[in-house]
Amino acid sequence: MGKKMEELPQYKQFSEWIENRHDYAKKWKQNNGGKVVGYICTYVPEEIFYAAGVLPVRILGSHEPESITRPYLHDMYCPFCHDALAQGLEGRFDYLDGIMLAQSCLHMRQVFFTWEERCGVDWSYYMEFPHGVNNPHASEYLRSLLEKFKSAVEEWTGTTISNKELDEAIEIYNRNRELMRRVYELRKSDNPPITGLHAMEMVVSSQMVDKREHNEVLESLLEDLQDVEVDREIGTRLMIVGSEDDDREFFRMVEYEQNYPATFVFEEHCTGARYFWNDVKPEEDRLMAIAKRYVTRVPCPAKDWPTKTIQGRRRFNWIERWAKEYNVEGAIIMQQKFCDPHELDIPALRELFDKLGIPHLFLEFDITVPVGQFRTRVEAFLESIGEEDLFI
């Protein structure tokens, strides 16, 4: 008799890490004597921090209504940014020794500057990460920025980051990526052992804890997943596409709390596959290897635009590939309200799904999710996908 995923200690560990992320980071500091740095966007080259003995943790929101960011942040900046900044202003990340932003969207940029000024942090670093990741000079340029960044981290921590330490960090990070890809791989089956909620907790927790520990849990999870008993109907195979999204409530509602069965088999966002899908390919020049990884990773729409040789969107090639490989039957385009880079791609994204013959539903979400409203819309969407069955 197999176990249910929810009963696995590894899954409980992911959830526990998310719930108690702040306690984890504080304890990690105590136990390791290292520094903890907060980052907002996943373009931060975490390997360099890790090589210096610094724990990078992602600053995510708490999904609670707030009003303390309004004096600083434009109303039309995205809810994720408001929510993240609110955490800082409320002192929930007061254990951070530093914060870092690798240039991404304008909204995160303003959060970084306001955090730097108002949330009391000893060290901060803004890296002008290339926006044009599709242009052929981006890796070389990023390499020059990484060199400066590495020096800044060394100065801050009073360490020297050697190739050996970089290699080790790269290996640990690559291992984490590989293990999560292997878990995702299992979702291709007709009866995936994990739901989107489980997958989200796995990926989000990886952004909050020491990757070494996360790897250990992932390794044992992969062993136990073979015996997991799926006791729910899989129903419609869904893919979620879009902005930053760590709202578990929505996943729970879609997969566990409605009349039409459905399971997310893939998450294309920066708390999903975009975060971990691509490895650093080792080469003699370690910084160049890291630069190439971040330039060629599945891009955020903020950085995915045309240049001399690429006229399309690189991200769309990935979406198409994943939709086919994971046998996706419907897509939910989950849009963080006011997130411009994603909004700018949405008309073309809808056309892509039309071309692929995949029905899609557009939902715009805020700090809190209107679960009741979304339930009605998702149910109607699922019903429309299964429409033919009604008349058989």
What is the enclosing helix (H) or strand (E) of 168? helix 163-185
Count CB-CB contacts under 10 A for residue 213: 15
Whole-number minimum distance, CB 294 to another protein, in Å? Answer: 14
**With contacts defined by CB under 8 A, how many residues of the chain interact with another protein?**
48
Among 136, 171, 178, 376, binds another protein (CB under 8 A): 136
245-264 residues near another protein, rule: CB under 8 A: none
Q: Contact between 68 and another protein (CB under 8 A)?
A: no
Cβ-Cβ contacts under 8 Å for 17 (sequence gap 6 or more): 24, 205, 208, 209
Orientation of helix 79-89 relative to helix 106-118, angle to 10°: 10
Among 144, 189, 317, 384, binds another protein (CB under 8 A): 144
Which of residues 4, 12, 27, 137 is near another protein by CB under 8 A? 137
State the nearest-atom distance from the C-beta of 376 to another protein, in Å: 21
Residue 213: closest CA among 29, 10, 7, 52: 10
Among 19-27, 217-225, 291-299, 338-346, the segment contacting another protein (CB under 8 A): 338-346
Virtual torsion, Cα 272, 113, 173, 286, nearest 10 deg: 130
Both tokens of 304, joined, read 């995915």
The distance of closest approach from Cβ of residue 380 to another protein in the complex, given in angstroms and rounded to an integer, is: 19
Q: Which residues pair with 224 in a beta bridge?
A: none
Site for another protein in 302-331 (CB under 8 A): 302, 305-308, 311
| 175 backbone dihedrals φ, ψ, rounded to 5° | -60, -45
Residue 84 touching another protein (CB under 8 A): no
Give the CA distances from residue 29 to residues 55, 229, 290, in Å, rounded to whole numbers and listed in that order: 9, 38, 26
Residues whose CB is less than 8 angstroms from the CB of residue 164 and which lie 6 or more positions away in sequence, other chains included = none
At closest approach, how far in Å is the CB of 314 from another protein? 12
Do the Cβ atoms of 371 and 113 come closer than 8 Å?
no
- Regarding 120 and contact with another protein (CB under 8 A), the answer is no
Q: Among residues 88, 301, 328, 369, which is the contact residue for another protein, using CB under 8 A?
A: 301
Is 230 near another protein (CB under 8 A)? no
Measured distance CA(217)–CA(202) in Å, rounded: 10
For residue 61, the minimal CB distance to another protein (Å) is: 19
Q: Which residues bind another protein (CB under 8 A)?
A: 71-77, 103, 105-107, 109-110, 113-114, 117, 126, 128-132, 135-138, 140-141, 144, 301-302, 305-308, 311, 337-338, 340-341, 343-348, 350, 362
